[in-house]
Chain A
Amino acid sequence: MTEKHLPIAVRLLPLFVLLIGLAIWFSLSRLNLFPESVFPSPVAVAKGLGTEVRTGRLFDDLIASLFRVTTGFLIAVGLGLPTGLWLGHHFRSRLALLPVINFFRSLSPLAWIPFAILWFGIGDLPAIFLIFMACFFPIVIATVGAVAAIPSIYFRIARDYSFNGAELLMKVTLPAIAPQVITSLRVTAGLAWLVVVAAEMIAGRDGLGFAIWDARNGLRMDLLVAGMIVIGVIGVVIDRILVRLMRISSVRWGYER
């Protein structure tokens, strides 16, 4: 059953959960169990968020973070996908390089932060580098796996119907791996969004991560929570955008079979 076939009451369930969460938060803060400085109320957070919007700082931070995520992510996709395709088709290269790629994939991208600052200083570049390091290796691994899983019968058909090299790539390999690659893009985009916040906290002078760090230094827990909410909402929005790729009719076979 697809989402649009569900009754409206069922489709609104996430909204109900959100409202219940807000009600619990509101009730707890009304009970004054914790001081406002460690447990800000929804009202204080809403006011803080309003201030950030009015002054334009939220917008500036959002743009800075989105720019870093988009750039780092696109570079990782642009290099990771061809690398994965190449390794997927070349057994010996795969045998030689996959352990190294697995090694780097297992390293937390945050371990690169000292080098990122040493090599690129403060600003956009270290964050972009860290996002690239977080996304590149998982994309390569996912693409290699997807290429290796293409049923050989598709290549036999391509041979029977005289596909040339470019057609084989564009009309067989890429469409055959598209569903798995889209799934991996969803996962890595989420990872990129996680990493940008951490990177900006340490190696940034703006961005949502820096805004949270700044709020923490100024003991503005209301702004800190406001920043967390914005980060969470943008993360969901990015995922919803990528989910739309899964609805393209020529890739639905990968999710419905």
Chain B
Amino acid sequence: MSDKALETEDVSVVFDSLEVFRNLSLGIPRGEFVAVVGPSGCGKTTLLNLFSGYLKPSAGRVVCSGRVRMVYQTDSLFPWQTVAQNIALGLRNVEDKNERAKQLDQMLRLIKLDDFASHYPHQLSGGMRQRVELARALVGDSDILLLDEPFSSLDYLARLRMRRELARMLDELPRTVVLVTHDIEEAAQLADRILVLSDRPARICRELRPGLERPREPTHPAVVEAVHCVLMELGLEESKPQLFAESPVA
């Protein structure tokens, strides 16, 4: 079995006359947390859609080794279901009823919402709803977690808290993660590897490895440094501090 959980081989994606990717090759090893940043409309979400199987490439091959779950930018909890029922969607493949109940209880405790199991999404705060979204994707036997700007609707402080929550949840339930985000600080705080995409047709124009254990403080020099480097790559900053190693781009 390949050590790669996700792989694209010479993938091209063209919508009508819009070329999103041209011969994109990328491998993501099992257990790695990759963040993808880049200009708006460069194809970040398209990349997730390729990995989830929702979109087929116009050319090339996408290999996905494991069960994929995705967390979306928009509120995607079923509002007619309780917190427990929403999370239980992630346990549909678990056949044993007792095992399902056990895993559900564990997950509710992990996201600290065991007192809110019978609440409906509209009765929760934005941060709580996002925790339920993550729980639904993490519960059960999934291997790969695709996150499409999952915290973009939250305020800054809530986003900081959710980053910690995510890091804590992944400690308990390790997964291969691809996080698409506009929030460069979020990428620098969470990812093992940051991929900076160029404008369309998107290519990986920079890879950064902050090289620190999670959770990282947003003001840690390595995080600040990574943010600087990404901003520079996107043409939004001038100077270029160098505090950690970069990987050469293939």
Contact = CB atoms under 8 A, between A and B. Distances in A.
B96 to A, nearest CB: 18
Contacts of A161: 89-90, 92
B116 interface: no
Most chain B C-beta atoms within 10 Å of own C-beta, residue among A153, A157, A178, A252: A157
A116 interface: no
A249 B90 contact: no
Interface string B77-121: 011110000000110100000000000000000000000000011
A253 B80 contact: yes
Given A156-B54, A161-B89, A161-B90, A251 B72 contact: no
B90 A176 contact: no
A253 B74 contact: no
A26 interface: no
A250 interface: yes
B121 A151 contact: no
B76 A156 contact: yes
Contact of B122 (A159, A175, A176, A256): A256
B193 interface: no
A27 B52 CA distance: 75
A162 B142 CA distance: 14
The bracket for how many chain A residues form the interface is 20 to 34
Contact of B79 (A156, A159, A162, A253): A253
A118 B244 CA distance: 90
A79 to B, nearest CB: 24
B80 A251 contact: yes
B76 A253 contact: no
A250 B92 CA distance: 20
B69 interface: yes
Contacts of A257: 79, 122
Nearest to B85: A250
B121 A253 contact: yes
A178 B122 contact: no
Given A160-B52, A160-B69, A161-B89, A153 B76 contact: yes
B89 A154 contact: no
B69 A250 contact: no
A175 B78 contact: yes
The contact size tier of chain B is 10 to 19
From B54, B70, B78, B92, residue with most partner A Cβ within 10 Å: B78
- Would you call the interface of chain B mostly helix, strand, loop, or mixed? loop
A250 to B, nearest CB: 4
Contacts of B89: 157, 161
Nearest to A167: B92
B120 A157 contact: no
Interface in A151-208: 151, 153-154, 156-157, 159-162, 172, 175-176, 178
Interface string A241-257: 00000000111111011
Contacts of B75: 153
Interface in B22-75: 52, 54, 69-70, 72, 74-75
B72 A154 contact: no
B66 to A, nearest CB: 14
A157 B76 contact: yes
A188 to B, nearest CB: 22
Contacts of A176: 78, 80
A251 to B, nearest CB: 7
Given A156-B54, A162-B92, A250 B81 contact: yes
Contacts of B92: 161-162
Contacts of A157: 76, 78, 89
Contacts of B74: 151, 153
A161 B122 CA distance: 22
A178 B78 CA distance: 13
Nearest to B137: A160
A167 to B, nearest CB: 10
Contact of B78 (A160, A172, A254, A256): A172
A240 B69 CA distance: 43
| Most chain A Cβ neighbours within 10 Å, of B78, B80, B81, B121 | B80
Interface string A216-257: 000000000000000000000000000000000111111011
6 contacts: A154-B78, A156-B54, A160-B70, A251-B80, A253-B80, A257-B122
Interface of B: 52, 54, 69-70, 72, 74-76, 78-81, 89-90, 92, 120-122
Given A153-B72, A153-B76, A257-B79, 12 more contacts: A153-B74, A153-B75, A156-B54, A157-B76, A160-B52, A162-B92, A175-B78, A175-B80, A250-B81, A253-B79, A253-B80, A253-B120
